[in-house]
Amino acid sequence: MLELTPVNPKAAPVSAVLLGELVFSIGRNGCRVEFGDILHSGSVSDEAEVAAIETTRQVVEAAVNGEYYEKVQQLPGIGAVSVTGFLRLGGRTIDFGRGLTIPFLKTVVQTYEPYRQ
């Protein structure tokens, strides 16, 4: 496991763990993305792998720079039931997360700051 511990306590932690596949976790609410999803598993060429590694670097860089935020839905007594993380990459918004978004349930936006001010 590799974990980036931010100097700023209001920054999004980033970790990577190899569990059969490389999985990246970003933020404090369990958002994660698998390397295979970034790779677009349909095409496993050298060029696709290089592009996926570069995209992964950009995702981590965006989190470190405070360009990452989450939309969190919670139920009292249970906690987060749906979390979607967002960041801008190459002029487009990327989203990933866990849980099912429940219509009409209050959604809170969790913002993060850069690792260093």
| Gap between the Cα atoms of 34 and 61, Å rounded | 17
Q: What are phi and psi of 44, to 5 degrees?
A: -110, 75
pTM of the predicted model as reported, rounded to 2 decimal places:
0.79
Q: What is the C-alpha separation between 85 and 59, in angstroms, rounded?
A: 11
How high is the pLDDT of residue 78? 83
In tens, the pLDDT along 11-39 reads 999 998 987 788 888 998 878 887 777 76
- pLDDT value at residue 40: 63
Tracing tokens 């920054």 back to the chain, one arrives at: 11
Position 13 scores a pLDDT of 93
Within 8 A by CB and 6+ apart from 82, the residues are: 72, 73, 97, 98, 99, 100, 101, 102, 105
